[in-house]
């Protein structure tokens, strides 16, 4: 459908450190495989998405969320005729810069960094992971990913203009990322909106009727499910509704992107880059459904006291750890303690905390700041 907009792998701007090509895997397949083998990728398993583990063994963590994003993005790329390997590499990498404890962890680190006129951004952190923190190769630091994957990582969720991010000048400011990269944001949104409904249903925080009352398309879906499966359990009907909702959102993304490309009149991958707005988009009705889902989830899930309590606790833990290591940089493990001697300590501490899993963060807290030092 949009094969003309596929980014041709042979036109990649390549890797920072040139490498010979592989006999049967192209550059984007190799990037995908490198992400899967990264330690930061494996740590996603022990990082909270939205619901902390404990109450149920079935909540998403950041790894299972990532796999859901990858399958949605890959399906869309396949139907549209785009590069599935590039799409999958970006989907698998999209959250590797996330700190422990979901968005609470991100907000806590950002707040600490603000005191130093700095900040924490999980996309920039992901770039630092793939550029230097991963140590897997004898010949170069990081994963040595292609330009397009690195660019997609830094442009996940936002584009930037010339001069806005001095450290990102090489990533074509003012240009859109390739269409494969543009899909990730929306695939991410479909995955988390529907997964958070599912997890919140499992946690007993909402019913199908609650969702239907706020999301008109969901009302239509759940009415159809009721008619078709009158004897099914609530859980079965909820699952039926959820898979139909995912299907509608994905179809709306496919159709919306085709329509958006037609309206923009883009003829190839270079035109996608030069276009003043992103091409990947939902159709109009799907955009409304997605926005309604977000509003509903904010009101009924994210801002509830059930989640708020854990959020406060994890933010306080990160703040305490941050202060502890500022006072005692000698307690940082290698190589962070070395780095702290040469770089601003707050930056090094932020990198150390951001890489932690939830459990490691908790354990470190108990052994340091939480134990009175």
Least distance to Mg ion, CB of residue 94, Å: 5
Q: Which is nearer to Mg ion, 172 or 245 (CB)?
A: 245
Give the span between the Cα atoms of 246 and 251, in whole angstroms: 8
Give the span between the Cα atoms of 143 and 343, in whole angstroms: 23
Least distance to Mg ion, CB of residue 304, Å: 21
In b/e form, how buried is each residue of 196-227, taking b as 16+ CB within 10 angstroms?
bbbbbbbbebbebebbbebbebbbebbeebee
Nearest alpha carbon to residue 197 among 299, 305, 74? 299
Least distance to Mg ion, CB of residue 151, Å: 18
Least distance to Mg ion, CB of residue 45, Å: 14
Q: Which is nearer to Mg ion, 150 or 346 (CB)?
A: 150
Q: Which is nearer to Mg ion, 68 or 240 (CB)?
A: 68
Q: Which is nearer to Mg ion, 86 or 191 (CB)?
A: 191
Least distance to Mg ion, CB of residue 292, Å: 20
Q: Which is nearer to Mg ion, 62 or 346 (CB)?
A: 62
Per CB under 5 A, residues contacting Mg ion are 95, 188
In b/e form, how buried is each residue of 310-346, taking b as 16+ CB within 10 angstroms?
bbeebbebbeebbebbeeebeebeeebbebbeeeebb
In b/e form, how buried is each residue of 56-66, taking b as 16+ CB within 10 angstroms?
eeebbbbbbbb
Q: Which residue is nearest to Mg ion (CB)?
A: 188
The helix (run of H) or strand (run of E) holding residue 133 is none
Least distance to Mg ion, CB of residue 215, Å: 21
Q: Are 155 and 185 in contact (CB under 8 A)?
A: no
Least distance to Mg ion, CB of residue 121, Å: 14
Q: Are 12 and 145 in contact (CB under 8 A)?
A: no
Query: How would you class 8 by CB atoms within 10 Å of its CB: exposed for 0-12, middle for 13-18, buried for 19 or more?
Result: exposed
Q: Which is nearer to Mg ion, 64 or 368 (CB)?
A: 64
Give the span between the Cα atoms of 18 and 218, in whole angstroms: 50
Mention every residue, 6+ apart, whose C-beta is less than 8 A from residue 260.
279, 280, 281
Least distance to Mg ion, CB of residue 65, Å: 6
Q: Which is nearer to Mg ion, 136 or 298 (CB)?
A: 298
Q: Are 76 and 187 in contact (CB under 8 A)?
A: yes
The encoded tokens of residue 343 equal 């770089």
Q: Which is nearer to Mg ion, 52 or 345 (CB)?
A: 52
DSSP string over 218-248: HHHHHHHHHHH-TTS-HHHHHHHHHHHHHHH
Least distance to Mg ion, CB of residue 73, Å: 11
């Amino acid at each position: 459908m949009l094969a003309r907009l596929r980014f041709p792998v042979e036109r990649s701007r390549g890797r920072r450190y040139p490498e010979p090509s592989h006999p049967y895997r192209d550059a984007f397949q190799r990037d995908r495989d490198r992400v899967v083998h990264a330690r930061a990728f494996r740590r996603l398993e022990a990082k909270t998405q939205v619901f902390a583990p404990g109450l149920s063994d079935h909540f998403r963590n950041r790894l299972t969320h990532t796999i859901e994003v990858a399958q949605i993005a890959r399906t869309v790329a396949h139907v549209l005729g785009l590069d599935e390997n590039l799409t999958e590499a970006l989907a698998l990498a999209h959250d590797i810069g996330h700190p422990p404890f979901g968005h609470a962890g991100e907000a806590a680190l950002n707040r600490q960094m603000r005191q130093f006129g700095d900040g924490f951004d999980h996309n920039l952190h992901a770039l630092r992971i793939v550029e230097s923190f991963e140590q897997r190769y004898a010949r170069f630091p990081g994963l040595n990913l292609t330009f397009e994957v690195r660019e997609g990582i830094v442009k996940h969720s936002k584009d930037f203009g010339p001069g806005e991010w001095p450290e990102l000048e090489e990533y074509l400011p003012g240009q859109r990322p390739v269409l494969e990269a543009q899909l990730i944001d929306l695939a991410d949104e479909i995955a988390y909106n529907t997964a958070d409904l599912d997890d919140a249903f499992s946690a007993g925080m909402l019913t199908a009727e609650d969702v239907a009352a706020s999301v008109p398309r969901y009302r239509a879906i759940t009415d159809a499910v009721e008619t078709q499966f009158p004897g099914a359990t609530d859980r079965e009907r909820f699952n039926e509704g959820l898979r139909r909702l995912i299907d509608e959102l994905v179809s709306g993304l496919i159709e919306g992107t085709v329509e958006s490309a037609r309206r923009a009149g883009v003829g190839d991958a270079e035109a996608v880059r030069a276009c003043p707005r992103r091409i990947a988009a939902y159709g109009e009705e799907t955009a409304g459904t997605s926005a309604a889902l977000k509003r509903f989830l904010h009101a009924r899930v994210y801002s509830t006291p059930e989640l708020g309590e854990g959020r406060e606790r994890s933010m306080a833990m990160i703040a305490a750890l941050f202060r502890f290591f500022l006072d005692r940089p000698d307690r940082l493990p290698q190589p962070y303690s070395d780095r702290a001697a040469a770089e601003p300590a707050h930056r090094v501490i932020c990198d150390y905390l951001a890489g932690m899993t939830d459990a490691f963060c908790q354990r470190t807290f108990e052994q340091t700041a939480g134990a009175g030092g």
